[in-house]
Amino acid sequence: MPFASGSSVTARAGVRRLIREVADFAFASECAGCGAPGAALCPGCEAALVPCPVRTHVGGVALCAGLAFEGVQASVLRAIKEDGQTSLIRPLRPALAAAVDVLREEAGAARRIDVVVPVPTSRAAFRRRGFRVPDLLARSTGIPVLRALVPTRRIRDQRGLDERERHRNVADALLADRAGGGAVALVVDDVITTGATCAEAARALRAAGFVVLGAAAVAATPRHGSGRPWGVGGTRRSILADLAGDPHDTQMNSG
Ligand SMILES: [Zn+2]
């Protein structure tokens, strides 16, 4: 695979993180989902992470998330992003895998995915956390990861912007830094709110010659006011009605 990458330095860093994650998970003092004393995730909250894929599309891009961004699911994602509990990526893997499977099946059973491309996160978020959530998630898919997207300009914080403003905010904000040459790519993000960022990521990849299967995420925010995730129950409603109430906490992506 021409895109596969890695070095002994990243390998060592990976081993160190793995050891820390195992220790964090085993010796955590409380559950990230409900606060009950004990492990990083109690059995009840782990059960809340059983995938229930929600599917929609925006701007010609298929989107799928493994869970609704609410309750335990939202608490676990926040624990990763705000408290740095990267050990909790592991119990979220099935949700992302389910979303990937939905998109792959739609494209035809034999459809291959050459690379997963994480949505880029702001430099400020990376400095604060020391890791990029979409990258860790992308790695968990077992598909070669290609960090091909770079921001072309500063993006305003997406929080507080409505759907139209979000699309305008990220329009032409990303660039693929290499030619796709027809490689089949899947965009990966942690949480989909309006889909504006994923749609922009897909646009940039297609412009560079990638074939984009869609975008997969761990969770998607419920439709504003309805309390239900978009696309649930087989309806493929546009998420253009999704407004505000946004989990994203940085310029473009909380990553
Ligand atoms: Zn719990």
If you measure from the C-alpha of residue 32 to the centroid of ligand 1, how many angstroms do you get, rounded to a whole number?
6
pLDDT band at 191; cut points 50, 70, 90: very high
Q: Are 119 and 189 in contact (CB under 8 A)?
A: yes
Give me the pLDDT at residue 184, please: 96
If you measure from the C-alpha of residue 110 to the centroid of ligand 1, how many angstroms do you get, rounded to a whole number?
38
Tell me the percentage of the chain whose pLDDT exceeds 90.
Answer: 55
If you measure from the C-alpha of residue 143 to the centroid of ligand 1, how many angstroms do you get, rounded to a whole number?
30
If you measure from the C-alpha of residue 26 to the centroid of ligand 1, how many angstroms do you get, rounded to a whole number?
14
If you measure from the C-alpha of residue 134 to the centroid of ligand 1, how many angstroms do you get, rounded to a whole number?
24
If you measure from the C-alpha of residue 48 to the centroid of ligand 1, how many angstroms do you get, rounded to a whole number?
9
Q: Are 49 and 34 in contact (CB under 8 A)?
A: no
Q: According to the per-residue pLDDT averaged within each range, which of 19-23, 32-36, 56-60, 244-248 is highest?
A: 32-36
Residues 229-240: what's their mean pLDDT?
Answer: 37
Which of 134, 116, 124 shows the shortest CA–CA distance to 192?
134
φ and ψ of 122, to 5 deg:
-70, 150
**pTM confidence score:** 0.79
Whether pLDDT at 119 is above 70? yes
If you measure from the C-alpha of residue 75 to the centroid of ligand 1, how many angstroms do you get, rounded to a whole number?
10
Residue with tokens 């990976």: 14
Q: Where along the chain do its domains lie?
A: 50-241
If you measure from the C-alpha of residue 72 to the centroid of ligand 1, how many angstroms do you get, rounded to a whole number?
8
pLDDT band at 25; cut points 50, 70, 90: low
Give me the pLDDT at residue 170, please: 83
If you measure from the C-alpha of residue 44 to the centroid of ligand 1, how many angstroms do you get, rounded to a whole number?
6
For 122-139, how does the pLDDT look when each residue is reduced to its tens digit (9 = 90+)?
Answer: 888 888 889 999 999 999
Give me the pLDDT at residue 7, please: 61
Higher pLDDT, 111 or 100: 100
Q: Are 175 and 204 in contact (CB under 8 A)?
A: yes
**Which CATH number describes the domain made up of 50-241?**
3.40.50
Helix (H), strand (E), coil (C) string for the chain? CCCCCCCHHHHHHHHHHHHHHHHHHHHCCECCCCCCECCCCCHHHHHCCCCCCEEEEECCEEEEEEEECCHHHHHHHHHHHHHCCHHHHHHHHHHHHHHHHHHHHHCCCCCCCCEEEECCCCHHHHHHHCCCHHHHHHHHCCCCECCCEEECCCCCCCCCCCHHHHHHHHCCCEEECCCCCCCEEEEEEEEECCCHHHHHHHHHHHHCCCEEEEEEEEEECECCCCCCECCHHHCCCCHHHCCCCCCCCCCCCCC
Q: According to the per-residue pLDDT averaged within each range, which of 31-45, 119-133, 144-158 is highest?
A: 31-45
If you measure from the C-alpha of residue 22 to the centroid of ligand 1, how many angstroms do you get, rounded to a whole number?
18
